[in-house]
């Protein structure tokens, strides 16, 4: 499996005084380094090792977010009061509730 498609993130850790390399699909995996480049290189290497071990053990390997198919639909539950307020705002703006929520989420 090509591990290049996983979602990698580099962040600074003030507690460790180092960069932390993370992989969103593997939340328990990280790598510390004094440079951002080395943190990315390290976490990518660990993810490759983990995937190889998972393949060897015939475990389910997380699919990269980049290759997943998304429908564009998800259900969100809100209080009836919030639903009412949003419906009124949508009506006042002459847009559907869906369009109002979509514009808020993408803003």
My answer on whether 41 and 81 are in the same domain is no
Q: What is the pTM of this model?
A: 0.76
- Residue 12's H or E segment, with its range, is strand 8-13
My answer on whether 49 and 74 are in the same domain is no
Could you tell me which residues come within 8 angstroms of residue 50 by beta carbon, excluding any fewer than 6 positions away?
26, 29
- Predicted pLDDT of residue 32: 98
Average pLDDT of the residues in 92-106:
95
Average pLDDT of the residues in 51-69:
96
Per-residue CA distances from 33 to 16, 30, 68, 72, 85 (Å): 9, 10, 30, 37, 48
My answer on whether 74 and 44 are in the same domain is no
My answer on whether 21 and 49 are in the same domain is yes
Residue 28 pLDDT class (50, 70, 90 cuts): very high
């Amino acid at each position: 499996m090509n591990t290049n498609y996983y979602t990698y993130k580099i962040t600074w850790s003030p507690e460790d005084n180092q960069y932390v390399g993370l992989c969103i699909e593997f939340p328990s995996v990280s790598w510390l380094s004094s440079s951002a480049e080395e943190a990315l290189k390290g976490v990518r290497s660990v993810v490759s090792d983990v995937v190889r071990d998972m393949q060897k053990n015939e475990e389910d390997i997380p699919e990269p977010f980049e290759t997943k198919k998304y429908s564009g639909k998800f259900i969100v539950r809100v209080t009836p009061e919030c639903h009412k307020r949003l419906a009124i705002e949508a009506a006042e703006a002459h847009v559907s509730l869906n369009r109002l929520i979509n514009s808020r989420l993408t803003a």
